[in-house]
């Protein structure tokens, strides 16, 4: 395997232009940006020129994948498009990093996993929570027993959406606060508690219908884990920005401010037996760390984390939360053992052509 992995980045929205693409200048020499893909030829050409990459239109996707120097695809498209393009890339022998959530429904996640397994390609979800120094320190402290056994995990993730055309406000693209924000809280809770949820109860609301969208603008969820442990989260599109995670243990608590904002300075607060101390972390490039990790896994044939199986588990939770909000009652999930990232998936492939989903400026970015 080459010692440097060449990437194509698909989707040139704000996240790609301001965070993903600039991160390639800060990786540790194991990754290289080769190409960018967009529906808009003018945008592709302009971005490619800025980042010294080749430009491709969406209808030239397969041509881009066929390049000898493209080994990995970074998908930064709306959730509704993740499954089809991951499957197509895997069939071309290209490894995939995918923005979270993994897909709209669990069946699409399973299709992605099966196809990657069949074609021996790697799949990773870009949860930056796992690549931020403050988050890593918080997990380290919990696992070392700093606050005793963790009992409750609380997340508050809110922001204001200013663009009424944003994909996060469109149901068909995978919009809604639970898909767009809550999935981060779910993954963090599962990581902290090291277990799979047993039951969920949730309420969702269209708080003011400010944009005329067809998705929830706010949600509150309660998740029961084995051994009587709980997690709860609050998400909203109509409030002042907040991205706070608090872990309550038998002997104290750990509070992480800006837990889900990778470009922000982060404060880690530890309260134990009435004594408080605080650690501050300068902004770190979690995007570069994500790319570094995935490239290392491809080069050394290791299982990347967070894996596609992790992504599947989170989408199962999102589905259950929306079902609970719709039906107004708890949803019980099968009691599952903690998933090992190396778990093998049924390798039967699903043969179906790539759906030609029309992309507008909201989808292609």
**What residue segments make up the domains of the chain, in order of their start?**
5-127+288-306+340-364, 129-284
* pLDDT tier for residue 341 given thresholds of 50, 70 and 90: very low
Q: How far apart are CA 36 and CA 10, in angstroms?
A: 6
Place of tokens 């907040």: 242
pLDDT, tens digit, for every residue of 86-126? 999 999 999 999 999 999 999 999 999 999 999 999 999 99
Is the confidence at residue 194, as pLDDT, over 80?
yes
pLDDT for position 157: 97
Residue 270: half-sphere exposure toward Cβ, Cα within 13 Å: 18
Is the confidence at residue 362, as pLDDT, over 50?
no
Is the confidence at residue 363, as pLDDT, over 60?
no
Is the confidence at residue 24, as pLDDT, over 60?
yes
Is the confidence at residue 348, as pLDDT, over 50?
no
Q: What percent of the chain has pLDDT over 90?
A: 78
SS (H, E, C) the chain: CCCCEEEEEECCCHHHHHHHHHHHHHCCCCEEEEEEEECCHHHHHHHHHHHCCEEEEHHHHHHHHCCCCCCEEEECCCHHHHHHHHHHHHHCCCEEEECCCCCCCHHHHHHHHHHHHHCCCCEEECCHHHHCHHHHHHHHHHHCCCCCCEEEEEEEEEEECCCCCCHHHCHHHCCCHHHHHHHHHHHHHHHHHCCCCCEEEEEEECCCCCCCCCCCCEEEEEEEECCCEEEEEEEECEEEEEEEEEEEECCEEEEECCCCCCCCCEEEEEEECCEEEEEEECCCCHHHHHHHHHHHHHHHCCCCCCEHHHHHHHHHHHHHHHHHHHHCCCEECCCCCCCCCCCCCCCCCCCCCCCCCCCCHHHHC
Q: Is the dihedral of CA 54, 361, 237, 159 positive or negative?
A: positive
* pLDDT tier for residue 335 given thresholds of 50, 70 and 90: low
The CATH code belonging to domain 5-127+288-306+340-364 is: 3.40.50.720
* pLDDT tier for residue 50 given thresholds of 50, 70 and 90: very high
* pLDDT tier for residue 149 given thresholds of 50, 70 and 90: very high
pLDDT for position 1: 52
Superfamily of domain 129-284: Dihydrodipicolinate Reductase; domain 2 (3.30.360.10)
Residue 189: half-sphere exposure toward Cβ, Cα within 13 Å: 31
pLDDT, tens digit, for every residue of 198-251? 999 999 998 655 655 678 999 999 999 999 999 999 999 988 899 999 999 999
Is the confidence at residue 166, as pLDDT, over 90?
no
Residues 6+ apart with CB under 8 A from 144: none
Written as six digits, the tokens of 213 are: 């969208």
Task: Tell me the pLDDT of the chain averaged across its residues.
Answer: 89
pLDDT for position 209: 58
* pLDDT tier for residue 2 given thresholds of 50, 70 and 90: low
- What pTM was computed for the model? 0.90
Written as six digits, the tokens of 319 are: 């589905």
Is the confidence at residue 355, as pLDDT, over 50?
no
Q: Are 35 and 56 in contact (CB under 8 A)?
A: yes
Is the confidence at residue 288, as pLDDT, over 90?
yes
pLDDT for position 29: 85
* pLDDT tier for residue 10 given thresholds of 50, 70 and 90: very high
92 or 350, higher pLDDT: 92
pLDDT for position 163: 81
pLDDT for position 172: 87
pLDDT, tens digit, for every residue of 68-80? 999 999 999 999 9
pLDDT for position 238: 84
Q: How far apart are CA 234 and CA 203, in angstroms?
A: 10
- Residue count of the chain, please give it: 365
Alpha-carbon distances of 315 from 1, 110, 124, 137, 170, rounded to whole Å: 32, 11, 14, 26, 18
């Amino acid at each position: 395997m080459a010692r440097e992995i060449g990437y194509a980045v698909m989707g040139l929205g704000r996240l790609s232009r301001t965070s993903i693409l600039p991160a390639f200048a800060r990786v540790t020499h194991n990754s290289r940006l080769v190409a960018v893909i967009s529906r808009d030829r003018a945008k592709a050409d302009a971005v490619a020129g800025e980042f010294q990459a080749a430009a491709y239109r969406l209808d030239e996707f397969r041509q881009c994948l066929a390049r000898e120097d493209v080994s990995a695809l970074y998908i930064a498209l709306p959730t509704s498009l993740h499954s089809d393009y991951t499957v197509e890339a895997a069939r071309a022998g290209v490894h995939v990093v995918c923005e979270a959530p993994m897909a709209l429904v669990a069946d699409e996640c399973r299709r992605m996993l099966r196809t990657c397994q069949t074609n021996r390609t790697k799949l990773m979800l870009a949860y930056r929570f796992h690549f931020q120094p403050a988050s890593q320190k918080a997990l380290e402290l919990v696992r070392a027993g700093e606050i005793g056994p963790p009992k409750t995990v609380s997340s508050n993730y809110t922001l204001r959406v200013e663009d009424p055309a944003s994909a996060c406000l469109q149901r068909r693209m995978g919009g809604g606060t639970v898909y767009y924000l809550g999935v981060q809280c779910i993954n963090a809770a599962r990581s902290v508690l090291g277990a799979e949820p047993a039951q969920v109860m949730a309420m969702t609301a269209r708080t003011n219908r400010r944009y005329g969208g067809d998705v929830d603008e706010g949600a509150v969820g309660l998740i029961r884990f084995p051994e009587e442990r709980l997690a709860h989260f609050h998400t909203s599109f109509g409030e002042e920005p907040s991205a706070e995670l608090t872990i309550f243990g038998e002997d104290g608590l750990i509070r992480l401010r800006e837990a889900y904002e990778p470009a922000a300075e982060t404060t880690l607060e530890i309260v134990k037996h009435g004594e408080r101390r605080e650690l501050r972390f300068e902004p770190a490039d979690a995007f570069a760390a994500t790319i570094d990790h995935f490239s290392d896994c491809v080069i050394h044939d290791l299982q990347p984390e967070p894996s596609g199986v992790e992504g599947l588990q989170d989408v199962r939770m999102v589905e259950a939360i929306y079902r609970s909000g719709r039906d107004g009652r708890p949803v019980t999930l099968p009691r599952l053992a903690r998933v090992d990232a190396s778990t093998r998936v049924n390798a039967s492939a699903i043969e179906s052509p790539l759906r030609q989903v029309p992309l507008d400026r909201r989808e292609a970015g």
